[in-house]
Every structure is written in C-alpha cells, then in structure tokens.
Amino acid sequence: MQYRLSLRRPDEAPLRVAFIVPKRIHRRAHDRNRYRRRLREGWRLEHRRLRDCVPLDRSLHVAIISLHKYESPWPRLREAIGQIIDRLAVASQAAAGT
C-alpha cells in the first residue's frame, strides 16, 4: 500500500484510489478483474471513515497493490481494507498536523 497527502487543486477530488493487481500474480484477465472488483466494493463500503479525516485543503492519493496469489474470503478482505483505511486515517491526521 502506498499513499501521498498533497495540496489540493480546486478541481481535484479530496480522495483518489487506485487498485493494482499484477499480471504476474493473477495470470488471467478475468481473475484480475474479479479481484479488482472485490477490492473496489470493499473500498466503497468502508471509505467514508477516511473521507472525514482528510483536511479540506489537501487531497489523499492511495494505491492498493495486491500481492497475494490466492483470493481471500470476502469477510477477511473487507476487514483488511478496513484496517488499511484506519492506518491511512491516522497517517493523514498526523501529516496534516505537521
């Protein structure tokens, strides 16, 4: 997982996310697309907690990179995304305070 907290331009969204599923891990396109859809759905359900932590004059850019060959069950995947969001919320609040 990588993230960047930067000054926000007026036309930019406060929160942007990219999901990366490498070809060397999931060879078939339909496997990569299915895993990416599952990641996106988990993010959609959990991201509201993070949106409130980003300061108004900043934007947060996040890249989530999948490095596991085997897909996790849905409850575990959603829990992992929730943990990522919690860590990002703490890091963005700390960076905004400096």
Residues 6 or more apart in contact with residue 89 via CB below 8 angstroms: 49, 50, 53
What's the pTM? 0.79
Instruction: Give me the number of domains the chain comprises.
Output: 1
- Beta strands at 2-7 and 58-65: parallel, antiparallel or unpaired: antiparallel
**What is the residue range of 27's domain?**
2-97
pLDDT in tens, the chain (98 residues): 455 666 677 777 888 888 888 898 888 999 889 989 999 999 999 888 887 787 777 788 888 888 877 778 889 988 988 898 888 888 877 776 65
- Which CATH number characterizes residue 35's domain? 3.30.230.10
